[in-house]
């Protein structure tokens, strides 16, 4: 069955206009991330007192939680026999972009023959990030581990072009060869979600998202990432049968996902993480 997408051009136009009006009314900010390496290998946020990830083995870990967690290995390749087919992912907490790069690799592997034939599959990836990592730091991070080095040059230049001058802001890059559109919403999720709902941009995204990567810090130190508005987005934007994955198995996240119409399950996590949480959007509210 062909899957529908949102009107990307219209989404970008509406977001740009909404963010501009917001920035005219309020003082625009630009809070770049404050980072350090713990034990040389664990990427740490000084602002949130929590870790991004341990650089060694990060790809395997992220792949486990977000790509396998969202069942992408069996949902891809997309069926494109009849019509154009889209897959739409939204990530909250874009950070280093590692999840995006892993997703892009799997997308390419899964769709090689279709992409060569310029056929009809497209990936739309929307990332939200409130504390952009400056491009020098990102370069250091990618070069800090063999695991990451393959991405360093590939993404760094693109990333520099996408960084915002003020926030909230939106930027977009189209990867032509892969037919992937990367849209980054820069700003705090609490502001961005308010703007989206207040300006009726939400209408464009209703029931359009296939998968969510919920990659905020732990609710203990980052409660805004798990607020009512975030789950309102999950409830409204997710297609029936769409999925979500997160490291957090906290009570608040479980309860909010259920309230947003998801069926949830805990499954074993990667490395030292005992469990992670997966959700699937039901066709009815329990
Ligand atoms: C665990 S890290 C995510 C790591 C990221 N997915 C990666 O692969 O590098 C959590 C991210 O959430 C972002 N974040 C925290 N609070 C936020 C907020 N209120 N709004 C938007 N982003 C936020 C942080 O800046 C950080 O990049």
CA of 188 to the centre of ligand 1 (A): 9
The pLDDT value recorded for residue 2 is: 44
Q: Name the residue of 44, 90, 130 whose CB sits within 8 Å of the most ligand 1 atoms, as the mutation to test its pocket.
A: 130
**Higher-confidence position of 72 and 136:** 72
CB 61 less than 6 A from any atom of ligand 1: no
CA of 172 to the centre of ligand 1 (A): 19
CA of 129 to the centre of ligand 1 (A): 6
The pLDDT value recorded for residue 79 is: 81
Nearest residue (by CA) to ligand 1, atom 27, is: 95
Q: Which of 48-62, 105-119, 158-172 has the lowest mean pLDDT?
A: 105-119
pLDDT tens per residue across span 211-240 = 999 999 989 889 999 999 999 999 999 999
The pLDDT value recorded for residue 146 is: 73
**Mean pLDDT along residues 232-259:** 97
CATH architecture of 8-281: 3-Layer(aba) Sandwich (3.40)
CA of 169 to the centre of ligand 1 (A): 16
CB 131 less than 6 A from any atom of ligand 1: yes
CA of 95 to the centre of ligand 1 (A): 5
CB 168 less than 6 A from any atom of ligand 1: no
Q: Name the residue of 60, 131, 159 whose CB sits within 8 Å of the most ligand 1 atoms, as the mutation to test its pocket.
A: 131
Query: Contact, 18 vs 201, CB < 8 A?
Result: yes
CB 141 less than 6 A from any atom of ligand 1: no
Q: How confident is the model at residue 154 (pLDDT cuts 50, 70, 90)?
A: confident
pLDDT tens per residue across span 128-151 = 999 999 998 898 888 887 776 666
């Amino acid at each position: 069955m062909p899957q529908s997408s949102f009107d990307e051009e219209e989404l970008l136009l509406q977001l740009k206009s909404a963010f501009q009006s917001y920035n005219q009314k309020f003082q625009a900010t630009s809070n770049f991330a404050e980072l350090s390496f713990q034990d040389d290998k664990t990427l740490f946020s000084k602002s949130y007192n929590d870790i991004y990830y341990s650089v060694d083995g990060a790809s395997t870990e992220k792949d486990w939680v977000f790509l396998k967690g969202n069942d992408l290995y069996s949902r891809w390749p997309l069926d494109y026999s009849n019509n154009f087919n889209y897959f739409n992912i939204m990530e909250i907490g874009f950070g280093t972009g590692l999840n995006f790069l892993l997703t892009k690799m799997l997308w390419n592997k899964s769709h090689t023959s279709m992409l060569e034939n310029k056929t009809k599959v497209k990936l739309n990836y929307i990332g939200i990030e409130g504390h952009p990592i400056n491009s020098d730091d990102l370069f250091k991070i990618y070069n800090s581990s063999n695991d990451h080095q393959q991405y360093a040059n590939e993404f760094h230049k693109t990333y520099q072009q996408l960084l915002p001058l003020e926030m909230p802001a939106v930027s977009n890059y189209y990867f032509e060869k892969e037919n992937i559109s990367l849209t980054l919403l820069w700003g705090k999720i609490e502001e961005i979600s308010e703007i989206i709902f207040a300006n009726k941009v939400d209408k464009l995204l209703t029931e359009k998202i296939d998968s969510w990567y919920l990659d905020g810090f732990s609710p203990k130190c980052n409660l805004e990432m798990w607020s009512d508005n975030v789950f309102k987005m999950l409830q409204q934007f997710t297609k029936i049968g769409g999925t979500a994955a997160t490291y957090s198995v906290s009570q608040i996240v479980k309860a909010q996902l259920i309230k947003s119409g998801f069926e949830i399950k805990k499954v074993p996590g990667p490395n030292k993480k005992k469990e992670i949480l997966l959700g699937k959007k039901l066709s009815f509210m329990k």
